[in-house]
Amino acid sequence: MKTSELGLSAMTRILKKAGADRVTQEAADELRRIVEDIASEIAKNSIEMAKHAGRKTIRADDVKLGSKSFSKY
């Protein structure tokens, strides 16, 4: 089993803030898995943006550009 960067309690809080009355551990774990997958893709895209600009340092603009495919705006 791989370790997670995100806490299960944080996922539970997110679901409750979104309006859930009760949250199972499986639901919080699934949200965590999905969020980590999306975050990994955004991180990879952000790295490519920085490399394209000739930098090793990831900037906020790189993350914004790297997340465009996941943004609903």
What pLDDT score was predicted for residue 3?
82
User: The whole model's pTM is what?
Assistant: 0.85
CATH H-level, domain 8-68: superfamily: Histone, subunit A (1.10.20.10)
First to last CA, the chain: 35
DSSP per-residue letters across 15-58: HHHTT-S---HHHHHHHHHHHHHHHHHHHHHHHHHHHHTT-SS-
- pLDDT at site 1: 52
Per-residue model confidence (pLDDT) at position 20:
98
Read off the pLDDT of residues 4-46 as tens digits, 9 standing for 90 and up. Answer: 899 999 999 999 999 999 999 999 999 999 999 999 999 999 9
Task: Give yes or no for a contact between 26 and 8, defined as CB atoms under 8 angstroms apart.
Answer: no
Q: Where are the domains of the chain?
A: 8-68
Instruction: Judge whether residue 58 has pLDDT over 90.
Output: yes
Supply the pLDDT for residue 69.
Answer: 82
